[in-house]
Amino acid sequence: DALRRRIAGASLARAVVQQDNATPCPLAIYTGMSCEAADVSAVAAPPQWCGGAVHAAYDTCVSNAIQLASHPLHEAMELGSALWSLTAEASAWQMCLLSVLAVVTVRQYFRWVMWTGLAAAFLAGQLIFVAWQMAMIALSVLCVSLLNIASKVWYVLESTSRWYRGGSISRRVALRRTLQAAGPWVEWAAAARELDSLDGKDAWRAEPPPNCDRIGAATTQLKSARESNDLQALMRLLSSMLVRDYEQTNSLALHTECRVGSKEAVERLHDELAAAVKHLAGAPCASLSYRERLQLFERASVCIGHTALCLSGGGSLAMYHLGVVQALIEAGTMPRIVSGTSGGAIVAGVLAVNTDQEMLSDIIQRDIAVRYLPDRWFPPLPQLLYNSVVLGSLVDNDVFARCTRRYYGDTTFEEAYRKTGRVVNINISSSSQGGSGARTALLLNALTAPHVLVRSAVHCSCSLPTVMKATTLLAKDPETGEIKPYAGEGNTGSAPQWIDGSFTQDIPRDRLSELFHVTQTIVSQVNPHVVLTMKRHKGRATNSAFRRIESALSADVIYRLQDGYAPSLVSVR
């Protein structure tokens, strides 16, 4: 009614409706009224009659527009088509009327139209953003690939130049053969150092490392305090320097550029630290008691942590662990903490019951794997096939148990620790899965299982399904010496069965850290498939232009994948 009054007040009723007798009234297109029904004639209709017709048509239009909210969308489209037809033949008052109808229609569907438009705009923006990110990622990847190719070409040219300037190629070939056939570590290190020198690494060694001023000052202070026998000053210096990665001297970039050794400044600092510790431990001084020195070394042990040798699984390839053990023993750097899983448990068990001298003189020999024939770790191929058909597993459990007894006897973890002083850990897994669907891991050592037999732990850790059947642990009664199945300390129930420790964790770093404060691991990995997932370190102590550009482009790709496109596909450590 308010709209009708406004239209009437504007004297729109004085408009003249023009039509011929053969053409229906434009208003009838929407109202469904004929010209006769509206009392509108072609020429002679008086203005008041025309106004009455307009009022009648207006009432019908407004009524239909109000009901439009409950109509389907296609009826609204029909209304729009009708309104468009009206505009072609409408006069001024009709145009105003049609505008009112359009406003009413849009008002009814405004929220619908607004959200549809916003969704379309948002989707278009997302598509444009994704296309831009993918284009930038492709460009960065292309640039990184080109840089890698350029760096390899540069490396080939530089190596060729060094070879040309460095002397005979035959000498390099001979040194490489020496590296392949070297026996003790000293022989390998000498050949590697000479080969590094021919490759031009001496210049790199002489270059100052990062934090060179602080490293040089620390070396000078240590040397001055040691030579002047100032033990108090030496203690103060060592208390702050005996930490892991002092002044970033353990950075991988400082120890992967050459085959052996690092920068000269870093090597001088390490040598001076070792000399200072030896001097402080053995120098007589009335003003500094041995108890104070011992307290310093105990604090340093906590700060530095312990190093563990971790021997992976790998079946018969685990025998290659003995070469790593030999090199560490000969260099005097064999860790006291050792872990072994599956095939690595065989070597770890040997380390548990033999001293360093026994390892070199008796164990690390060519006949060690077949010394107790016919008992052997793995039978020949015909026997494997026979066992697979008859027993359902490749290796007979009784034969394997007899072989472990030949090598380890009935020694427990506690007895082995008392003999060798080594903390040997063997990882095993439960044969059954718990309620969460995960297997239980158990790390056996002199602390967690002191009375368990080493041979039974090795047997369980090697019990890979289809290769050997699951087996139980054996323990020795500390009072009677009786050997019986082990169900756990204080547990009198039935003993559970255990399988290969690799099912839960091949290298139990976390558990070693919890039990023995292990902060550094030496991993001997012989599983061939690990090569496919290993990431080669590409760091360099000298930050070249190639390296800086490559790092920036790689960081850009990772950022775009994480933040802009697929954050769940990329993780940065």
Enumerate the active-site residues.
Answer: 342, 500
Before 382, cis peptide (omega within 30)?
Answer: no
State which amino acid sits at residue 381: L
Rounded to the nearest 10°, the torsion over CA 389, 391, 396, 397 is 150
The two three-digit tokens of residue 97, written as one number:
């009327």
* CA 463 distance to own-chain centroid: 29
| Beta strands 474-476; 471-472: pairing state | unpaired
Cα–Cα distance measured from residue 21 to residue 32, given in angstroms and rounded to the nearest whole number: 17
The two three-digit tokens of residue 554, written as one number:
């790689």
For tokens 């598509």, the residue is 127
Cα distances from 73 to residues 109, 112, 409, in angstroms, run 9, 11, 88
Residues in the chain: 573
- 3-class SS of residue 129: helix
| Beta strands 483-485; 306-311: pairing state | unpaired
The two three-digit tokens of residue 42, written as one number:
């072609």
- 3-class SS of residue 44: coil
H or E, element range at 436: none
SS3 content of the chain, % helix, strand, coil (to 5): 60, 10, 30
Contacts of 469 (CB under 8 A, 6+ apart): 391, 392, 393, 397, 463
Q: Which residues pair with 444 in a beta bridge?
A: 426
State which amino acid sits at residue 200: G
Q: Which residues pair with 498 in a beta bridge?
A: 430, 471
Cα–Cα nearest to 343, from 529, 527, 520: 527
State which amino acid sits at residue 427: N
* Cβ-contact 269, 221 below 8 angstroms: no
Contacts of 538 (CB under 8 A, 6+ apart): none
Cα distances from 509 to residues 408, 431, 520, in angstroms, run 25, 22, 9
